[in-house]
Amino acid sequence: MLLTVYSYPTCGTCRKAKKWLDEHALAYQDIHIVESPPTKADLTGLYEKSGLPLKKFFNTSGRRYRELGIRDKIKTATDDELLNWLASDGMLIKRPIITDGQHVTVGFNEALFTETWK
């Protein structure tokens, strides 16, 4: 099973996640989330398969999130608006996002990784 990992090279959480995948001998394709961000269609599929609320896909600690005032806008925005924002800037997306085409994890949680990817 080849996983797709959307990550950012200097992201510590991404490095932890990839280290975990390496330690468990899981093959993955690493995609730079800023240079090649997922499209709106990709994000829609990831969101639908994840079972998570769409707001969990936002990098709430990121500078762009604060600059654009998304924290206040997210409360009344439609899913379509949220997906457009996410697709417009890879820095708005929480990372890493990992998928095998059926399952999706967002961020790094060792227990969840063990449950999902092992």
Helix axes 110-117, 12-23, angle to 10 degrees: 40
Q: Which pLDDT score is estimated for 1?
A: 76
Quick check: helix, strand or coil at residue 29? strand
Let me know: does 94 contact 106? Beta carbons within 8 Å.
yes
Q: Please tell me the pTM assigned to this model.
A: 0.94
d(CA 94, CA 78): 19
CB-hemisphere CA count at 13 Å for 118? Answer: 11
Instruction: Assign residue 49 the CATH number of its domain.
Output: 3.40.30.10
Number of domains in the chain: 1
pLDDT tens, the chain, 118 aa long: 799 999 999 999 999 999 999 999 999 999 999 999 999 999 999 999 999 999 999 999 999 999 999 999 999 999 999 999 999 999 999 999 999 999 999 999 999 999 999 8
Domain that holds residue 26: 3-117
Q: In what order do the strands lie in the sheet with 97-99?
A: 28-32, 3-7, 97-99, 104-106
